[in-house]
C-alpha cells in the first residue's frame, strides 16, 4: 500500500511539474482544428499534439486565435507553436521557423454551379471575380498569377464561400478538403474543381519561434516517427476515411 501511495505521489508530482506547451490554432477548420459540442478543442492536430505532449512530458494548452493573430502571438511569446494547417512558405519562413512537413495539400477551386469555369486559366480574365480568404495561400497565388482577375478579400473563408453560393464571385481557392466538403453541402449552388492547378503541392508544417532548436527537433522526430509507425494513418482513418476513399477513387494525393 505504501509503495502504491509513493508511486501515485511521484506521478502527480511529475504531472504538476509538467511544462505547459501552448499551441495556437484557429479552431475553424474541421477535422484538423475544431471544437467539439462542449467547446473543447478537438481534431487531428489536437490528437497529434496531445500524444506529442504525453510522450515529452508537456501539458498541452490550446488557444483559439484568429488566423491573422497566430504568427504575431508566436513572435511575442504568447504561444509556443502554431499547428493550424499552415502552409510552409518562403514569406512565413522569414519570421518563423517550421518543422519538417507533416502533410501536403493542393489548392482547388469552388465556382458557382452554372459558371463556365473549367480551369484556373478561365479565372485569369478581366471581369472574373475571386473571393478569397485574406492571407491564405489562395490569396497569395492569385496575387502572383491571376493579374487580370478582380480579387475580393475576406477575413473568414465562410464569407468568401458565401459569395460563391450567392453567385457574386466566380472562384474561391482553398485546399481540396475544404472545397470538396463545401461542395458536398452546397451541391445545388456550387461546383468543385478538385484537380490540382499548382506546379508543386503545398506542405503544412508546425511553426515555432525563430531559434527554438530544441522544440523543433522534438517535433521533427515525432513527425518522422508518426509517419513510420502509422499514427498519421490512424488519424486519417479516424477523421477522414470518407475523404481518403474519395481522393483515392479520383487519383488525388491524400494529406498524409
239 closest CA partner among 64, 103, 70, 63:
103
Grid cell for residue 79: 504561444
Percent of the chain predicted with pLDDT > 70: 93
Cα(180)–Cα(178) distance, integer angstroms: 6
Q: Which pLDDT score, from 0 to 100, does residue 81 have?
A: 98
13-27 residue pLDDT tens: 555 567 999 999 999
The pLDDT tens digits of the residues spanning 65-81 come to 999 999 999 999 999 99
Contact 219, 99 (CB under 8 A): yes
Tell me the C-alpha distance between 192 and 106, whole Å: 13
Please give the average per-residue pLDDT across 91-104, as a whole number.
Answer: 96
At 117-149, the pLDDT tens digits run 999 999 999 999 999 999 898 999 999 999 999
Cβ proximity of 201 and 256 under 8 Å: no
For residues 119 and 34, give the distance between their C-alpha atoms in angstroms, rounded to a whole number. Answer: 31
Of how many residues is the chain composed?
Answer: 256
The C-alpha cell that represents 250 in the structure block = 479520383
Say what percent of the chain tops pLDDT 90.
78
CA nearest 23: which of 83, 93, 67? 83
Amino acid at each position: 500500500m505504501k509503495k502504491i501511495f509513493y508511486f501515485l505521489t511521484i506521478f502527480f508530482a511529475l504531472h504538476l511539474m509538467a511544462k505547459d506547451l501552448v499551441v495556437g490554432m484557429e479552431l475553424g477548420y474541421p477535422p484538423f482544428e475544431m471544437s467539439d459540442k462542449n467547446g473543447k478543442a478537438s481534431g487531428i492536430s489536437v490528437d497529434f499534439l496531445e500524444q506529442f505532449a504525453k510522450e515529452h512530458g508537456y501539458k498541452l494548452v490550446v488557444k483559439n486565435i484568429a488566423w491573422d493573430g497566430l504568427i504575431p502571438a508566436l513572435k511575442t511569446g504568447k504561444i509556443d507553436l502554431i499547428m493550424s494547417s499552415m502552409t510552409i512558405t518562403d514569406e512565413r519562413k522569414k519570421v518563423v521557423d517550421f518543422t519538417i512537413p507533416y502533410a501536403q495539400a493542393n489548392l482547388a477551386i469552388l465556382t458557382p454551379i452554372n459558371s463556365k469555369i473549367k480551369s484556373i486559366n478561365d479565372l485569369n480574365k478581366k471581369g472574373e471575380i475571386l473571393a478569397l480568404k485574406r492571407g491564405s495561400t489562395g490569396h497569395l497565388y492569385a496575387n502572383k498569377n491571376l493579374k487580370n482577375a478582380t480579387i475580393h478579400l475576406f477575413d473568414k473563408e465562410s464569407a468568401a464561400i458565401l459569395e460563391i453560393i450567392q453567385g457574386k464571385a466566380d472562384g474561391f481557392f482553398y485546399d481540396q478538403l475544404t472545397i470538396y466538403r463545401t461542395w458536398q453541402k452546397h451541391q445545388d449552388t456550387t461546383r468543385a474543381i478538385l484537380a490540382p492547378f499548382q506546379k508543386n503541392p503545398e506542405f503544412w508544417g508546425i511553426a515555432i519561434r525563430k531559434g527554438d532548436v530544441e522544440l523543433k527537433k522534438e517535433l521533427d522526430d515525432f513527425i518522422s516517427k508518426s509517419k513510420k509507425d502509422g499514427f498519421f494513418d490512424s488519424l486519417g482513418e479516424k477523421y477522414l476515411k470518407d475523404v481518403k476513399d474519395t481522393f483515392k477513387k479520383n487519383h488525388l494525393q491524400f494529406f498524409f
